[in-house]
C-alpha cells in the first residue's frame, strides 16, 4: 500500500504542467507558459521553484514590471531562498532596472572620505 498517493498525484500533475509550460516557452508562447506556471502555484503554494519559473516566464515575455512585483512578493514568502536573489540580480543586470524602484531601501548616508 502506498503511503502518500495524493502527494505522488500532486507531483505528477505539477510535472505535467511544468513540461507543458517549458514546451510553450520553447516555442515562444510565453503567455501560455505563464498560465501553466500559475496553475502549478495554485496546486502547491509552498514550492518556491514554481514561483521562480513563473517569474522567469514573465521576464521572457518582456513583462519586467510584473516580474519585479513577483520577486517582491515571493521574497516575502521565501526570504531565505538564495536562488530568488540570484535570479533577481540577473534580471536587474539584464534589464538595467533600478532596484530602488521595486525594493525601497533606506541606505544611511555617511561620509566615505574625510575632508
Residue 115 lies in a domain: no
- The shares of helix, strand and coil residues in the chain, as percent rounded to the nearest 5, are 70, 0, 30
Spatial distance between the Cα atoms of 77 and 12, rounded to a whole number of angstroms: 24
- Residue 70: other Cβ atoms inside 10 A: 21
Residue 29 lies in a domain: yes
Residue 113 lies in a domain: no
Would the CA dihedral through 23, 26, 27, 30 be positive or negative?
positive
Residue 67 lies in a domain: yes
pLDDT, tens digit only, all 115 positions of the chain: 344 456 888 899 999 999 999 999 999 998 999 999 999 999 998 888 889 999 989 988 888 889 888 888 898 888 888 888 888 888 887 776 566 666 665 545 555 555 5
DSSP assignment string, 62-83: T-HHHHHHHHHHHHHH-TT-HH
Residue 90 lies in a domain: yes
Give me the CATH number covering residue 14: 1.25.40.10
Number of structural domains the chain divides into:
1
Residue 101 lies in a domain: no
* Domain coverage including residue 49: 5-96
- pTM over the 0.75 mark: no
Which residues touch 47 (CB under 8 Å, ≥6 apart)?
A: 14, 40, 41
Residue 112 lies in a domain: no
Spatial distance between the Cα atoms of 88 and 34, rounded to a whole number of angstroms: 18
Q: Assign 33 to helix, strand or coil.
A: helix
Residue 78 lies in a domain: yes
Amino acid at each position: 500500500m502506498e503511503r502518500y498517493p495524493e502527494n505522488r498525484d500532486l507531483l505528477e500533475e505539477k510535472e505535467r504542467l511544468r513540461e507543458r509550460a517549458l514546451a510553450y516557452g520553447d516555442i515562444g508562447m510565453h503567455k501560455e507558459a505563464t498560465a501553466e506556471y500559475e496553475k502549478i502555484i495554485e496546486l502547491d503554494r509552498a514550492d518556491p521553484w514554481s514561483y521562480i519559473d513563473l517569474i522567469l516566464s514573465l521576464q521572457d515575455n518582456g513583462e519586467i514590471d510584473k516580474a519585479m512585483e513577483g520577486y517582491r512578493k515571493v521574497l516575502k514568502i521565501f526570504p531565505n531562498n538564495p536562488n530568488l536573489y540570484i535570479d533577481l540580480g540577473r534580471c536587474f543586470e539584464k534589464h538595467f532596472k533600478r532596484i530602488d524602484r521595486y525594493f525601497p531601501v533606506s541606505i544611511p548616508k555617511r561620509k566615505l572620505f574625510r575632508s
